[in-house]
Amino acid sequence: MLKPVSCIPVVLLFLAAPTLFGGPNKVPARLTQARYVALAYDLGDVMLSEAEAVSKPGRVLPEDREALNSVRDLIEKWGRYVITIRPAQAELLIAVRTGRRASAEGGMRIGGRRPGNAPAGSAATGGAYGLEISSTDDMLSVYEASGGGAGAPLWREQRPGGFSGSAPTLFDDFKADVEKAAKRP
């Protein structure tokens, strides 16, 4: 019978094995096989593609636009993926979300037709508002593209200041993980 003390080295070897021998790959093979990607804004309740953001500029914060442009530039320099403006043609959807504690939006609608049986020419008025509370961490997410939208999540990381500076660390981590996975048999 083994003494409890003699089991400790065996247990430590099993715990250290993933680190010592390369461990399981946290990057799905799909990330190394894909060629076409679309970029999007993660608004918390919905993904908004770059093309959709053109017609809804008020939904995207300036910080998110800056982060997406930075990620776009880095993907183009990397050369691994081709960016398509049509999400339906993409194999992957790469989404950015800058950290924020809270954001609010509001608006007023004047004009248009009242719903229901209102007389022709009558004007409608109304207000619109929204409030969001979110993480203060920046987040980069990669999804399997599904019919032009986000499918299964494949890779995600978040951290404070992840899109700050000339080389966003979130993108650097994504790139390193994909390149490491591509080298594995």
Q: Does any domain span residue 176?
A: yes
Is there a contact between 64 and 41 (Cβ–Cβ < 8 Å)?
yes
Its domain, for residue 38, covers: 26-100+135-183
Q: 65-104, pLDDT tens digit by residue?
A: 999 999 999 999 999 999 999 999 999 999 999 997 554 5
Task: Return the CATH number at 47.
Answer: 3.40.50
**Residue pLDDT, tens place only, 51-67:** 899 899 899 999 999 99
Indicate whether 5 belongs to any domain.
no
| 134/45: higher pLDDT | 45
Given pLDDT bands bounded at 50, 70 and 90, which one contains residue 13? very low
Does 63 fall in a domain? yes
What is the pLDDT, as a whole number, of residue 10?
38
In the predicted structure, residue 29 carries a pLDDT above the cut 60:
yes
Whether residue 14 lies inside any domain: the answer is no
* Residue 85, domain member (yes or no): yes
122 within a domain of the structure (yes/no): no
Type of residue at 41? Y
In a domain, 106, yes or no: no
CB 137 within 8 A of CB 99: yes
173 is a domain residue: yes
Tell me the backbone φ, ψ of residue 29, rounded to 5 degrees: -60, -25
Question: Which pTM does this prediction carry?
Answer: 0.70
CA 163 to chain centre: 12
Q: For residue 52, give the nearest of 125, 150, 140 by alpha carbon.
A: 150
How many domains does the chain fold into? 1
